[in-house]
Amino acid sequence: MRPLLLVAIFIGLGLGAPPVIENYVVNGSDALAAEFPYMVSLRTRSGTHTCGATIIANSWLLTAAHCFVSRNPDDYTIQYGTNVISKDGDSVMRIRRIICRDGYDDNNQFIHDIALIELEQPLEFDAFVDSVRLPSAFVFTQGGQEAQLVGWGLNATVGGVIQTHLQKVDLETMTDDECRKLHFDKIHTTNICAGVKGGGKGQCTGDSGGPLLLNGIQVGIVSWSVKPCTIAPYPGVFTEVSHYIDWIRLHSGLTLMEGK
């Protein structure tokens, strides 16, 4: 999956080049019906998919701050309750409000890359529309665990296309030390990394804002990665959700239960 703006760089981290924001799933497989009922497509006014997002309550979504080139909610809609997205699809809703984390800075390795979306109307939950579970505050993800990335992003950097059918792919989380070494210390303490050691699987353009899941709990939000997408040995970088549970509570007014 990918955000609205995509900067093309090729393995430039060691030279101080900025990270590339990417938002699509590479080498994934089709998600099953109602397998991820909390997945939402964030769209431009014209209906073009730009980012993923997740339902955390019937009026609130979670995504990445970098997905919003404009902070005007009238510039976006969401499509929900389906694995198959299209410009002319149904189950589309307008946005009431966008709240990006104070201190978000795309010039500082996308620090605090997290945002809330308040919907114009509450969603009606059913088998195909439901909220994702969130982690407890400051309970951090360990390395070496099997996680899952979900999104509609590109399936390749060169010649890839945004997927119309929701994709999923299994990744492995990395320790903070492993990630810092591979990304030349360009990682914040509020990040988590995941990928596969040989490369070839992970996030790309269009996947931004979507979830990294561990045992069904959203532990990460797709933030950035090196181009070309999924190139070894660079893992994808995610915003670690557990750092921001109190912020989510404060700005949404939600009483989030532990693990939900």
Pick the catalytic residue from 41, 59, 131, 208.
208
Q: Which of 171, 167, 173, 172 is nearest to 155 (CA)?
A: 167
What DSSP character marks residue 162?
B
Active site residue 113: yes
Q: Which of 128, 106, 137, 129 is nearest to 19 (CA)?
A: 106
Burial of 47 (0-12, 13-18, 19+ CB in 10 A): middle
**How many Å apart are CA 155 and CA 5, to the nearest integer?**
17
Contact 29, 231 (CB under 8 A): no
Tokens of 155: 């399936």
For residue 43, give the 3-state DSSP assignment.
Answer: strand
**How many Å apart are CA 242 and CA 169, to the nearest integer?**
22
If you count them, how many residues does the chain have?
260
Pick the catalytic residue from 49, 59, 66, 242.
66
Pick the catalytic residue from 49, 59, 112, 113.
113
Active site residue 70: no
Active site residue 66: yes
Q: Which of 112, 23, 117, 4 is nearest to 67 (CA)?
A: 4
Q: Which residues carry out catalysis?
A: 66, 113, 208
